[in-house]
């Protein structure tokens, strides 16, 4: 396949006109996204002012990190922005999975049960919950129950009601984002409705939300509608593309405190933890995050309209406001899917010259092909595409630090797919 634009003038014109039409169709959604970004940007600025963020918060620390002002202030800023009583924000949380694991182990003790009401949690959590012999929750005698979403992606309130009449789980867990599945992200309204439903029947229950990919997509976060804890990754939305690593946990003070004893040690909680690199990118990334998420959302919507025009099913449907920054596209063959992922890699700022191939990625059940030409390794707030290689051939597109980059990548993918038809 040639990528030389000059020898495909007709193809280039076709692609340009598909994208023009997509942008016309997306006009109203784009305007709504600009409004959301404005609200969220103000929340961030207000939090920075309230917490008196200053240059002294940006510097590295060493050793135990007692009175690490950069760490403490960053945690207060996140708590403010997300409407939490308290937050843990740490570069020592190595990934979203690690952050979720720390939160679950902090909140659950032997004999407790957790109930997941949005179907299976994210792939990498399955072994955390029910692995055998790997130090999973199950190994520690913590039980798990699951209620799937209905076919239309809404909560199965009848099943939840029946379950809660007989059982009193310590924790109800839900996943805001679609993850690797063909369902819409849960809206803030839907999360609020589920939280109320659960708490009406079982007031002592904690509700935790895997908030990955959902931050700043709407003007509210799940804590505003009654959730007790939200958990996410800093190399996704709230890191704004600048945070080099880390995770956050935010919510009710006593729940976050319980989790802090698991983060470090039952004797020291979150009084310790140094970082021998500047905290600057965490602050600056959070500052940029509302706008970065807006660009990624617009890119996702553009891709939705464009691939829909080519006749592929996309989820969410193109004209719908997305609830997370992931776009699922259903291709017809593994070859189309692979060509698409390779197109994203080709249009990336880093490692654009390499060709991704499927591989057995730790924590995932099927071979996965990933385009991740990112500055921060594996950062999916940066434009990236991944897909398990299995039928139906669904690719997931996410992120994009700028809308313009998303548009260039979508054009490249359209071209590759059209020229192979």
Please report how close the Cβ of residue 94 comes to ligand PLP at its closest, in angstroms: 8
| CB nearer ligand PLP, residue 96 or residue 356 | 96
Is residue 184 a contact point for ligand PLP (CB under 6 A)?
no
Beta strand 229-233 with 143-146 is: unpaired
CB pairs under 8 A, 24+ apart, for 369-372?
369/337, 369/338, 369/341, 370/341, 371/341, 371/342, 371/343, 371/344, 371/345, 372/345, 372/348
Residues 192 and 382: their CA atoms lie apart, in Å, by 29
| CB nearer ligand PLP, residue 339 or residue 385 | 385
Applying the rule CB under 6 A, the residues between 106 and 125 that interact with ligand PLP are 122, 124
Give yes or no for a contact between 252 and 85, defined as CB atoms under 8 angstroms apart. Answer: yes
Please report how close the Cβ of residue 50 comes to ligand PLP at its closest, in angstroms: 29
Residue nearest to ligand PLP (CB): 96
Nearest to 376 by CA among 270, 283, 229, 245: 245
Instruction: Map residue 125 onto helix, strand or coil.
Output: helix
Residue 161 CB neighbours (<10 A): 13
Residues 315 and 184: their CA atoms lie apart, in Å, by 7
Binding ligand PLP by CB under 6 A: which of 40, 90, 97, 291? 97
| CB nearer ligand PLP, residue 97 or residue 220 | 97
Tell me the residue length of the chain: 421
* Contact string (CB under 6 A) for ligand PLP, positions 131-170, x = contact: ----------------------------------------
Please report how close the Cβ of residue 236 comes to ligand PLP at its closest, in angstroms: 6
| CB nearer ligand PLP, residue 233 or residue 260 | 233
| CB nearer ligand PLP, residue 97 or residue 258 | 97
Q: How far is CA 155 from the centre of its chain?
A: 20
Sole window of 54-62, 68-76, 89-97, 219-227 interacting with ligand PLP (rule: CB under 6 A):
89-97
Binding ligand PLP by CB under 6 A: which of 75, 175, 184, 384? 175
Q: How many residues bind ligand PLP (CB under 6 A)?
A: 13
Please report how close the Cβ of residue 124 comes to ligand PLP at its closest, in angstroms: 5
Is residue 245 a contact point for ligand PLP (CB under 6 A)?
no
Q: Look at the alpha carbons of 266, 270, 273, 275 in this order and tell me if their dihedral is positive or negative.
A: positive
Please report how close the Cβ of residue 178 comes to ligand PLP at its closest, in angstroms: 8
Residues 314 and 300: their CA atoms lie apart, in Å, by 10
Binding ligand PLP by CB under 6 A: which of 233, 270, 342, 374? 233
Please report how close the Cβ of residue 208 comes to ligand PLP at its closest, in angstroms: 12
Nearest to 383 by CA among 225, 222, 241, 170: 241
Is residue 177 a contact point for ligand PLP (CB under 6 A)?
yes
Angle at 211 between CA 208 and CA 212, to 5 degrees: 140
Applying the rule CB under 6 A, the residues between 189 and 228 that interact with ligand PLP are 210, 212-213
DSSP letters of 39-96? HHHHHHHHHHHHTT--GGGGS---TT-TT-HHHHHHHHHHHHHHT-SEEEEETTS-SH
Chain residues in the site for ligand PLP (CB under 6 A) = 95-97, 100, 122, 124, 175, 177, 179, 210, 212-213, 233
């Amino acid at each position: 396949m040639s990528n030389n634009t000059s020898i495909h003038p007709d193809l280039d014109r076709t692609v340009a006109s598909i994208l023009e039409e997509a942008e016309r169709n997306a006009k109203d959604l784009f305007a709504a996204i600009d409004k959301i970004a404005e609200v969220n940007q103000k929340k961030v600025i207000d939090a920075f002012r309230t917490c008196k963020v200053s240059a002294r918060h940006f510097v590295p620390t060493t050793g135990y990190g007692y009175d690490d002002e950069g760490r403490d202030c960053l945690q207060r800023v996140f708590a403010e922005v997300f409407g939490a009583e308290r937050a843990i924000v740490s570069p020592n949380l190595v990934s979203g999975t690690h952050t979720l694991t720390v939160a679950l182990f902090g909140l659950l003790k032997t004999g407790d049960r957790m109930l997941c009401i949005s179907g299976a949690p994210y792939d990498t959590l399955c072994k955390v919950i029910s692995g055998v012999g790997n130090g999973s929750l199950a190994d520690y005698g913590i039980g798990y129950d699951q209620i799937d979403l209905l076919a239309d992606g809404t909560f199965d309130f009848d099943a939840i009601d029946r379950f809660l009449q007989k059982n009193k789980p310590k924790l109800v867990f839900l996943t805001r984002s679609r993850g690797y599945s063909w369902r819409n992200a849960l809206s803030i309204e839907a999360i609020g409705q589920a939280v109320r439903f659960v708490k009406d029947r079982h007031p002592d229950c904690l509700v935790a939300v895997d908030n990955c990919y959902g931050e700043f997509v709407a003007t509210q976060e799940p804590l505003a509608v009654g959730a007790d804890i939200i958990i996410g990754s800093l190399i996704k939305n709230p890191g704004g593309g600048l945070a080099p690593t880390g995770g956050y946990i935010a919510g009710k003070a006593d729940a976050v405190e319980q989790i802090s004893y698991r983060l470090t040690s039952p004797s020291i909680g979150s009084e310790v933890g140094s970082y021998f690199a500047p905290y600057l990118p965490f602050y600056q990334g959070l500052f940029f995050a509302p706008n970065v998420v807006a660009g990624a959302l617009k890119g996702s919507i553009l891709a939705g309209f464009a691939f829909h025009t080519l006749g592929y099913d996309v989820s969410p449907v193109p004209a719908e406001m997305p609830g997370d920054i992931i776009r699922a596209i259903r291709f017809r063959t593994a070859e189309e899917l692979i060509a698409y992922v390779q197109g994203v890699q080709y249009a990336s700022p880093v490692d654009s010259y390499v060709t991704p191939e499927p591989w057995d990625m730790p924590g995932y059940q099927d071979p996965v092909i990933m385009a991740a030409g990112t500055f921060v390794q594996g950062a999916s707030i940066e434009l990236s595409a991944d897909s398990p290689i299995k039928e139906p051939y669904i690719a997931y597109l996410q992120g994009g630090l700028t809308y313009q980059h998303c548009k260039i990548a979508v054009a490249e993918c359209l071209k590759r797919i059209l020229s192979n038809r």
